[in-house]
Structure 1
Amino acid sequence: MALSVDVWSNCGSGTPNGKAGDRQGGGCQEGRCSGDESVGQVGEPGSSCWLCQVGVSNRVSCCTAVTQALMPLAPGYGETPLPHAELTALQTRIVDILDAPITRAAVYDLEQGVQDQVSEELITAAIEGSLHVDDLLSDHFVRDLHLRLYGEIWVWAGRLRQREVNIGVAPEQIAVELRSNLDNIQYRWEHTDDFTPRVLGVTVHAETVRIHPFTDGNGRTTRLLADLVYIAAQERADLQYDWDVDKTRYIQLLRRFDRSRNADELADFVGVQSIES
């Protein structure tokens, strides 16, 4: 399958897998995610949800730390109002708290605030050693990560893609491909010398991008997943990826991975930086 720029931007502007009325719970309910509870919940200490923690009001105010896994909107793109099909995929709570017309930029700000918080929590866990490579290399974790990043905002969060798109495997193959390929990567990490930590994380990223398991948000989810894997795999966790790269070349190398299933060149291309930078 050909890769599209959606691999890079993934600005949360997806369409629902089901019908317009297929909402679950309508947003924050005492800190519990309103998405598909079969894949986990977005939770936190206390009584407020992730959106409450990042300061959502009629005009959104998010935390200022921006993770490398989040890419900026193209100039002018953010002021575009969401079309009806995408509005129906927003959680009811989000529709209620954002000023009309709801723009891509407003939703992007929400996604950024949630991602900052989720990233900080999970990266800290990986650095401290409470989140291990074998925890990360599972289809359940990938779905739960996507849910945590998007569950308070979009109804499709954590749900595997149900329709054909111009990238990724066929919908009926996603579950098997995701599980079998992550299992294979874990086996090679534990029993061979195929991967350095740097190559391991990029391989996980490229493989999950190739599968394209979700309706939207695949790029952000898989870049954060790569950082977590890279950090957890290091004996002394002090480096993460630097995703500030040439987008055209990045997509070319992802296409090359699709053909070769070897991520060495892509891993050389994606830089690294100190976690503290």
Structure 2
Amino acid sequence: MSNLAAPIGDGHTLLTDEDRAGLLQRDIATWQELFDAEQRNIAKALLRPKPRLPTLLDDKYLRGLHKAMFGDVWGWAGRYRTSDTNIGIESMHISAAVRDVTDDAAAWVEHETYEPDELAVRFHHRLVFIHPFVNGNGRHSRISADLLVVNLGRDTFSWGSNLDTSTEELRQRYIAALRSADAGDIDDLVRFARS
């Protein structure tokens, strides 16, 4: 599952020393300030030229996208995590798993295995399930899926109309859809992506 990137509590909660590990902007003190800095960095990253296939389906590109999205805020941006977490796969398997999902997605595109929406959502789900980065996995995988679906001739997803600043109810719907996909049923996540 993804880190949904919402500020903790009312956003005024102070970051702990552990939360600040790797933070480049040392003047950030609260979760809201962190969220705002990350959102500014993501907005800047989205101004970059959009990739075309097959560039998008490459682990080097995906790491570069993460760095572009979070590199003004975090020193570890664009680098796969090296420690295990309570979500995601073991860190020692991340690089191979990302290559597997990019290779699978390239084959799905080539053979038109799935309709564009389902293909891009499956790509999103696999990336967020791997949880390759310390943080930002949900946002990174949603943007990656948006870039992919646009390459396949469709509009970007709505993800419940701005999941990053949404209500708790919307977040819970997204989490439930991810859990359904974890169990093998992708339909709820595909519907959520277009809701």
Q: TM-score, normalised by structure 2?
A: 0.87
Alignment of 1:1-277 (within 5 A): 3=1, 7-10=2-5, 72-73=6-7, 75-76=9-10, 78-91=11-24, 94-95=25-26, 98=27, 102-122=29-49, 125=50, 131-191=51-111, 193-234=112-153, 239-244=155-160, 246-260=170-184, 263-271=186-194
Secondary structure of the residue aligned to 1:198 is helix
Deviations 1:154-186 (A, max 9, x none): 111111111111111111111111101210121
* Counterpart-to-counterpart distance in 2, 1:88 and 1:259: 34
Ranges in structure 1 where 5+ consecutive residues have no aligned partner: 11-71, 126-130, 273-277
1:256 CA drift (Å): 2.2
The number of residues matched between the two structures is: 187
* Counterpart-to-counterpart distance in 1, 2:39 and 2:9: 17
Q: TM-score, normalised by structure 1?
A: 0.63
* Counterpart-to-counterpart distance in 2, 1:139 and 1:146: 11
The percentage of counterpart residues that share the same residue type is 30
Which residue identity lines up with residue 201 of structure 1 in the other structure?
A
* Counterpart-to-counterpart distance in 2, 1:171 and 1:199: 27
Q: Relative to total residues, which structure has the larger helix share, 1 or 2?
A: 2
